[in-house]
Amino acid sequence: MVYLSNPREEFVNLVAQVNKMKGLGDLPSKILGELYIESGKLSLNEISERTGYSLSAVSGAMKNLCNTGVVFRTKKPGSRKLYFHMEKGLIDNFLLSFKNINKNVINLMEEQVPDIIESYENIDTKEAEKEKKILENYYEELLILKDVFEDFINKLETLEIDKNDRK
């Protein structure tokens, strides 16, 4: 393993590498690394300078990152500039990610899959019967996954309470 001479840069690269492993592109991964290590808030210009990407590319990436609920956008009083930051706790970030997955993805699936299964009731073919069974199994596993996520979220929230008690 090659270590850089700058520990800040090492950490930013590590966070970027981990986020790329999670499926994010190069720019959002670099942005998350920069925002995590930054003790304050960064403007679009500062993020653009630090990542080496254009303002328009950074702006587009920031919209997506803010939509995930991991990155937060604010304005400073008397300024038109947008500033960005993220929670610094590793547990806080995992908690936000899992809450968003649970809220957005699992709830959407839980809401729509039963209706799709029901639409198979009027189709009387062997193939439709097989597809319906696949979806029923999918839905059962989805409910199990939802329970696991909720338990995990509750455990993380308990850890956060304990962390606050230790301060």
Q: How many CB atoms lie within 10 A of CB 123?
A: 11
Which CATH architecture group holds 7-86? Orthogonal Bundle (1.10)
- Residue-level pLDDT at 160: 62
Here the tokens at position 29 are: 């991964």
Element (H, E) at 107: helix 107-119
- Residue-level pLDDT at 14: 93
In the predicted structure, residue 80 carries a pLDDT above the cut 70 = yes
pLDDT tens profile 96-154: 777 877 777 888 999 999 999 999 998 999 999 999 999 999 999 999 999 998 898 88
User: Which residues sit opposite 42 in a β-bridge?
Assistant: 84
Closest CA to 39 of 11, 66, 17: 11
Q: Using DSSP, how many helices (H) and how many strands (E) does the chain show?
A: 7, 3
Tracing tokens 């997955």 back to the chain, one arrives at 101
- Residue-level pLDDT at 164: 55
- Under 8 Å between Cβ of 35 and 27: no
Q: How confident is the model at residue 36 (pLDDT cuts 50, 70, 90)?
A: very high
Residue 52, Cα to own-chain centre: how many angstroms?
23
pTM of the full structure: 0.69
